[in-house]
């Protein structure tokens, strides 16, 4: 078993302990956010952490009505700009807590009097020490270069923040039930993944599409395939794909489309029909039984009754797919060429 796969299997256990580990910090954080009437957020991250931030943006907007933006660290680190974040919640996300760009954003925000939060897997990291509040992933050591358990831990912490801040008991209940359902799903996804990988062994490029809460999962799946399999995969929102990228599709360019039940389902189904009509291979990954039966190349995942939870199951599928495809190509997903576990950009 690769280290990557081993760490994929650890995710349910990791998520199970995150709320208790961070409950006191979340309560104090939300108390300050409410007392200051904060209604804007800025999230700073790179790579997989950036995709977790996109997931967080959706939840903050849906459940709390918070307008949020992804930071542009280069404004600060390259051009010496000082964007005004004094009335914002500013979140730096980095598994190592050593990301120089996220550190620069949080330092600027802290000096301006913003409410600062770090989400890391290292309580002693520079980012954790700069922020007023630290949300701890607590995943244990992640040995594989490809992030898995730290990514879902970041997603989960952002979801908890949305639930606590919006005082949404229903969302919190979904999150508390997730670790157990994820454990069962991870076992079945891993067992069945081989049959879904074989026909992708020789592809050179492709697309991963989704919309809504699974859009960041599409971005993450494309990244995981890029870094572990050296394939030119690109992730897009279904809604954006119509605006130009669709012209690149042809029968030799496979498309993976993530289509969970929920608000984005009809748009996803329409895109599947559009691409299929162009003669292109589409692997449909869905938790809707009827849709899975409609298309030959489909993967049916366990339905969760919540798009918030479904995103985690689709993430596990994405991780297992990349790991299995890498191994089938004779590669080592734990040590991708030219990459290191900690990447410092500024």
The DSSP element (H or E) to which 324 belongs, if any, is: helix 307-328
**With 70 as the cut, is the pLDDT of residue 37 above it?**
yes
> What is the band of 165 on the pLDDT scale with cuts at 50, 70, 90?
very high
Distance CA 303, CA 59 (A): 20
Going by C-alpha positions, the residue among 94, 128, 127, 131 that lies closest to residue 109 is 131
Pick 184 or 159 by higher pLDDT. Answer: 159
> What is the band of 341 on the pLDDT scale with cuts at 50, 70, 90?
very low
**With 80 as the cut, is the pLDDT of residue 346 above it?**
no
Domains of the chain: 3-179 (3.40.50.10490), 193-328 (3.40.50.10490)
Would you say 319 and 8 are in contact if contact means Cβ atoms under 8 Å apart?
yes
| C-alpha distance from residue 114 to each of 59, 65, 299 (Å) | 21, 19, 44
The reported pLDDT for the residue numbered 345 is 61
Alpha-helical runs (H) found in 204-288 = 215-229, 238-241, 265-277
Distance CA 24, CA 34 (A): 16
Pick 178 or 338 by higher pLDDT. Answer: 178
309-318 pLDDT, tens digit per residue, is 999 999 999 9
Tokens describing residue 239? 């809604």
**With 60 as the cut, is the pLDDT of residue 69 above it?**
yes
Distance CA 249, CA 245 (A): 8
> What is the band of 194 on the pLDDT scale with cuts at 50, 70, 90?
confident
The reported pLDDT for the residue numbered 193 is 84
123-149 pLDDT, tens digit per residue, is 999 999 999 999 999 999 998 888 999
50-61 pLDDT, tens digit per residue, is 999 999 999 999
Beta-ladder partners of 175: none
Neighbour count for residue 277 (Cβ, 10 Å): 8
The reported pLDDT for the residue numbered 342 is 53
What's the chain's average pLDDT? 93
The reported pLDDT for the residue numbered 344 is 54
Report the range out of 34-43, 76-85, 137-146, 181-190 with the highest average pLDDT: 34-43
Angle (CA) 187-266-223 rounded to 5° is 50
**With 70 as the cut, is the pLDDT of residue 339 above it?**
no
The reported pLDDT for the residue numbered 231 is 93
**With 70 as the cut, is the pLDDT of residue 20 above it?**
yes
Least confident of 78-82, 235-239, 341-345: 341-345
User: Once rounded to an integer, what is the mean pLDDT over residues 302-321?
Assistant: 95
**With 60 as the cut, is the pLDDT of residue 340 above it?**
no
User: Once rounded to an integer, what is the mean pLDDT over residues 182-193?
Assistant: 88
User: Once rounded to an integer, what is the mean pLDDT over residues 23-44?
Assistant: 98
Going by C-alpha positions, the residue among 200, 224, 226, 222 that lies closest to residue 210 is 222
């Amino acid at each position: 078993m690769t280290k990557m796969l081993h760490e994929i299997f650890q995710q349910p256990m990791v998520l199970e302990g995150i709320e208790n580990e961070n409950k006191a910090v979340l309560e104090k954080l939300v108390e300050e956010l409410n007392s200051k009437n904060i209604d804007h957020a800025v999230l700073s991250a790179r790579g997989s952490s950036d995709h977790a931030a996109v997931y967080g943006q959706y939840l903050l907007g849906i459940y709390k009505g918070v307008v949020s933006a992804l930071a542009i660290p280069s404004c600060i680190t390259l051009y010496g700009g000082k964007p005004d974040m004094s009335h914002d919640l500013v979140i730096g996300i980095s598994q190592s807590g050593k990301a120089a760009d996220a550190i620069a954003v949080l330092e600027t925000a802290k000096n301006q009097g913003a409410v600062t939060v770090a989400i890391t897997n290292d309580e002693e990291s520079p980012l954790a020490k700069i922020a007023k509040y630290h949300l701890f992933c607590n995943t244990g050591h992640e040995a594989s270069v490809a992030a898995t358990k730290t990514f879902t831990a970041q997603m989960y912490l952002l979801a908890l923040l949305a639930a606590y801040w919006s005082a949404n008991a229903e969302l919190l209940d979904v999150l508390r039930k997730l670790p157990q359902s994820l454990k069962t799903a991870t076992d079945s996804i891993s067992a069945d993944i081989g049959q879904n990988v074989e026909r992708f062994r020789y592809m050179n490029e492709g697309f991963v599409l989704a919309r809504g809460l699974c859009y960041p999962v599409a971005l993450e799946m494309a990244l995981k395939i890029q870094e572990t399999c050296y394939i030119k995969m690109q992730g897009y929102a279904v809604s954006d794909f119509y605006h130009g990228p669709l012209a690149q599709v042809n029968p030799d360019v496979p498309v993976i489309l993530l289509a969970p039940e929920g608000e984005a389902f009809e748009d996803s189904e329409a895109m599947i029909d559009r691409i299929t009509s162009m003669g292109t291979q589409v692997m449909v990954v869905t938790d809707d039984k009827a849709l899975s039966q409609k298309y030959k190349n489909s993967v049916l995942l366990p339905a969760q009754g919540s798009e918030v939870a479904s995103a985690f199951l689709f993430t596990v599928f994405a991780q297992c797919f990349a790991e299995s495809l890498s191994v089938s190509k004779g590669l080592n997903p734990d040590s991708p060429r030219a990459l290191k576990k900690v990447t410092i950009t500024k």
